[in-house]
Copies of this chain bind each other. A is one copy, B any other.
Amino acid sequence: MLKNQVMKLFGIEYPIIQAPMAGGVTTSRLVAAVSNSGGLGMIGAGYLSPEQLREQVKEVRQLTSGYFGVNLFVPNEYRVKEKEVQAALERLHPVRSQLKIQSAEPVLPVYEKDLAIFHEQIQVVIDDKVPVCSFTFGIPSEEVIRALKEQNTILIGTATTVKEAIEVEKRGMDMVVVQGSEAGGHRGDFMEGSNESLIGLMSLIPQTVDSVGIPVIAAGGIMDGRGLMACVCLGAKAVQMGTAFLTCIESGAHPEHKAAILKSTEDKVVLTRAFSGKWARGIQNQFIAGMRGDENTLPEFPVQNALTQVIRKTAAAQNNPEYMSLWSGQSPRLAKSVTVEELIKDIMDEAKTILTAVQ
């Protein structure tokens, strides 16, 4: 495989990007291991404070001299609806009781505060000259894009439909990650109606490649050399893999989360709004099952996320996977407990074998 423009821009040997999973998964050790093994490591900074982000960027730089990136959540305006919140809290009460949670009711998020934090995160990316910055849940403002481009930061948008990818290009991003319906974690849709589409990569990659001029990076269900080669055939310049790196030794995912993926099957992976108010894909557990009937009436992101935070934290502390958010893509049968170096070597070896076999 010849070096394509994405690999050249990132200075990487293989067209493999580690998905920026938020919530403690992307430890500095994981990010650096990916960059040191020929891929691009990404810090999932969506939930990090500016100080934590600055600290982690420093830490990653001590562990690798390679390129790496940061992913940020673009804040979207939301309204805290008192009635909805009360109903959700009542709905969550039995879970709190079951986990013996004594703490006071959660503090609700404030949009203006989220936006201020986002701008501070951007300032860290600028100050520390982070080489790559990707965005989820939307496209940042013109000012933010201009400021980052002045630093030569490579900008990546996230899209779940061709229309979103076209918008990402129009607004000046350098590349676009297309997130197939197979992907684990939060859906990255940001345009009206996109959320219903749930387009699989077999459809999403070629239709996007035909419609935009910027490089397309594929994400969703890709776990090995077969997935990498398939995405390359469909026209993607690189793949972004989440679940495959989540179960790696270096990942900071909770041991119960890793274990749940390693023993799961494709039909146990479902979409739910119960944890955060935004649709996300993870392994079915008691929490999701219990909230099934309320999926459409829960508060929106990040309100529901704030309401369930103590539940997720307590469940993690109690090693109880039934109330943790066990994000996973649709290919859990292909997950392995290996080092990042082994994973990337296996992927590239398999890709080479396929290339020989299809001749």
Indicate the member of A161, A181, A235, A354 with the most B CB atoms within 10 Å: A181
A316 at the interface (CB under 8 A from B): no
B204 touches A227 (CB 8 A): no
Cβ A333 vs Cβ B220 within 8 A: no
* Set B202, B231, B354: member contacting A200, Cβ < 8 A: B202
Is residue A266 within 8 Å, beta carbon to beta carbon, of the partner chain?
yes
A237 to chain B, nearest CB (A): 12
Kindly list chain B residues whose C-beta atoms are within 8 Å of the C-beta of A204.
266, 330
Residue A232 lies at the interface, judged by CB distance under 8 Å to chain B:
yes
Assess whether A206 is in contact with B267, with CB atoms less than 8 Å apart.
Answer: no
- Chain A residues numbered 199-255 whose CB sits less than 8 Å from any CB in chain B: 199-207, 210-211, 220-224, 226-227, 229-235
Interface: A182 (CB within 8 A) = yes
A207 touches B333 (CB 8 A): yes
Beyond A226-B233, A227-B234, whether A211 also contacts B358 by CB under 8 A is no
Tell me whether A337 is interfacial, beta carbon within 8 Å: no
Tell yes or no: A9 within 8 A of B by CB. Answer: no
0/1 per residue, A162-188, Cβ < 8 Å to B? 110000000000000000111000000
Q: How many copies does the complex hold?
A: 2
Q: Is the CB of B229 within 8 A of A202?
A: no
- Chain B residues lying within 8 Å of A199, measured Cβ to Cβ, are 182, 266-267, 330
Asked whether B200 lies within 8 Å of A224 as measured between CB atoms, the reply is no
Q: Which residue of B lies closest to A164 (CB)?
A: B267
Name the residue of chain B whose CB is nearest to the CB of A329.
Answer: B203
Query: Looking at the complex, which one of B161, B200, B207 makes contact with A220 (CB distance below 8 Å)?
Result: B200
Complex Cα spacing A210 to B331, Å: 12
A-B CB proximity, top 10 nearest: A200-B200, A203-B330, A203-B221, A230-B230, A229-B233, A182-B200, A202-B221, A203-B331, A230-B233, A201-B202
Residues of A whose CB lies within 8 Å of any CB of B are 1-2, 161-163, 180-182, 193-194, 196-207, 210-211, 220-224, 226-227, 229-235, 265-267, 269-270, 329-331, 333-334, 354-355, 358-359
Q: Can you pick out 11 interface pairs between chain A and chain B where the beta carbons lie within 8 Å of each other? A: A181-B198, A182-B203, A200-B200, A200-B220, A200-B221, A202-B222, A202-B230, A203-B330, A203-B331, A210-B333, A229-B233
